[in-house]
Amino acid sequence: MTEALHPFHYLLDLSARAREANALLPVADTDAAQSWNGVGFRLGDHYCVAPIGDIAEVLVEPPVTRLPGVKSWIKGVANVRGRLLPLMDLTAFFNFDSAQGRVSRRILVVEHGEIYIGMIVDEVLGLQYFSPDEFSAESEGVDPGVARFVQGCYQQGDRRWALFRPLNMLEDQEFFNVAA
């Protein structure tokens, strides 16, 4: 039976082994440091990516209280940790067909100053990473309704990702005209 190490010596040994293992790891890729990343999501058949700084959090669709006298794309309000979160269905706002059921739908929460809203999307596809040479300032092929909120596209393989700016929606009069 071996004698147990004193806790301090155990920590020193653990630290030495971690440094040895760290030396075997590859050096960080400089291209990864220059890449741009954002939250990828889908609206109908359209793939979009939003800057990660524009999205406060991503939520599963909570129970919603409907509001009377509002447009059909306003789903209502939800209580999220004691705050009322108005929920807007972006797929319905842009008149897209929702390709999947409610299971994959998520909420992109946008918080900017006093504005706190949830934008319902068909699916969140996680963080997406793009190199600068995949970006084009042209929004060719983007649906005209969405194009006013897009600032270019990333082409990655055969998939085109529209750079969607949720904060631009906060300045759009149609988006805030919610009365039916």
Write down all domains in the chain, each with its CATH number in brackets: 38-176 (2.40.50.180)
CB 89 within 8 A of CB 120: yes
Provide DSSP, 153-168: EEEETTEEEEEE-HHH
The continuous run of DSSP H or E covering 10 comes out as helix 7-23
Q: What is the pLDDT of residue 1?
A: 47
Amino acid code (one letter) for 155: Q
Strand 115-121 to 123-130 pairing: unpaired
Residue 22 pLDDT > 90:
no
User: d(Cα 65, Cα 63) in Å, to the nearest integer?
Assistant: 7
- Rg of the Cα atoms in the chain: 22
Mean pLDDT in the chain? 88
Alpha helices in the chain (DSSP H): 7-23, 30-34, 90-93, 144-147, 166-169, 173-176
With 0-12 / 13-18 / 19 or more C-beta atoms within 10 angstroms meaning exposed / middle / buried, residue 95 is exposed
CA nearest to 137, candidates 163, 165, 169, 166: 163
Q: What is the pLDDT of residue 26?
A: 63
Mean pLDDT in residue range 139-164: 92
Q: 168 vs 27, 133, 149, 175, 180, CA distance in Å? A: 38, 24, 6, 10, 22
Residue 107 pLDDT > 80:
yes
User: d(Cα 54, Cα 63) in Å, to the nearest integer?
Assistant: 24
Higher-confidence position of 25 and 151: 151
Lowest mean pLDDT among 2-11, 86-95, 108-117, 129-138: 2-11
Per residue in 65-105, pLDDT tens? 999 999 999 999 999 999 999 999 999 999 988 766 678 89
Strand 83-89 to 115-121 pairing: parallel
Residue 27 confidence class, pLDDT cut points 50, 70, 90: low
Residue 32 pLDDT > 60:
no
Q: What is the pLDDT of residue 25?
A: 67
